[in-house]
Structure 1
């Protein structure tokens, strides 16, 4: 390997552990959001006292107009949106980094190294796709809920203006 290729290989290798750590944090975040989401579903089904984030925001900021409320919708959904987009990319990174050592293991006949590297690579991409799936589902439903709430607030906000 030339100097540039070796340097790039070493730099890429330095990112493996941080990417695995971020994926682990995102997995915990996805499970946390799933718990919150399931609790919210139960609340919506069996209780009249559901938490409505836009209504609460409007009560705290009565001078807010529709643009402020739309911005609040975006702010509320932004973490879910970022995680749903970033986790597959991190999964791809975590898949590609161990492929280099796995291919070198194939070339040298060290099949134990190949198995270890491939299992790490495929486990990472599976976790990333699970995270993205969970968070995207929550994002889609929560977006609908917030837009329904915004639609209910439009006459109130326009009347207050």
Structure 2
């Protein structure tokens, strides 16, 4: 079983790097969304479009929030087996490398999770406020 688990380390690290890149991409997207896209949507008064877009963007960061820490944990646990085996043989350099990989993947996974969590909360607030502004601006006969 150990060889199979060890094979997973490189794909886990690659997936973790992808999730971190997506989290950083979402930070940039959120800045443009907050400063440009949401004010335009509110001005257009299209509540259905605001709901659709908000739901989609919140779901994206929710995935990052969940997947990032999971991949970080996998990247932590996978190298610990060989690292502990190396400790038993007195090979401290292998243990040091394994521990570095373990800690680095933990930090990156948590970073992605934090970014996703903060963006998710912020986007929920932004879209709720946008919908409130659209509703407040709608004529009394059009309000639900």
| Structure 2 residue corresponding to 1:111, chosen from 92, 108, 112 | 92
- Give aligned pairs, total: 141
| Residue in 2 that maps onto 1:47 | none
* Matched ranges for 1:95-134 at <5 A: 95-134=76-115
Q: Deviations over 1:14-34 (max 9, x none)?
A: 211111001111111122222
| Structure 2 residue corresponding to 1:22, chosen from 15, 26, 29 | 15
Following TM superposition, the consecutive aligned residue runs of length 4 or more in structure 1 with deviations greater than 4 angstroms are 53-59, 68-72
Using structure 1 for the length normalisation, give the TM-score. 0.74
> Aligned partners of 2:65, 2:43: CA distance in 1, in Å?
26
Q: Which runs of 5+ in 1 are unaligned?
A: 1-7, 44-49
* Matched ranges for 1:84-99 at <5 A: 84-99=65-80
| Structure 1 residue corresponding to 2:64, chosen from 77, 80, 83 | 83
| Residue in 1 that maps onto 2:3 | 10
| Residue in 2 that maps onto 1:159 | 142
Distance 1:69 1:40, change over 3 A: closer
Q: Is the Cα contact below 8 Å between 2:54 and 2:127 reproduced in 1?
A: yes
| Residue in 2 that maps onto 1:33 | 26
Q: What's the Cα RMSD here?
A: 2.7
Q: Deviations over 1:133-152 (max 9, x none)?
A: 12211111111001111223
Q: Is the Cα contact below 8 Å between 2:42 and 2:133 reproduced in 1?
A: no
Q: Deviations over 1:75-111 (max 9, x none)?
A: 2210100101111111000000000000100111111
Distance 1:57 1:139, change over 3 A: farther
Q: Which runs of 5+ in 2 are unaligned?
A: none
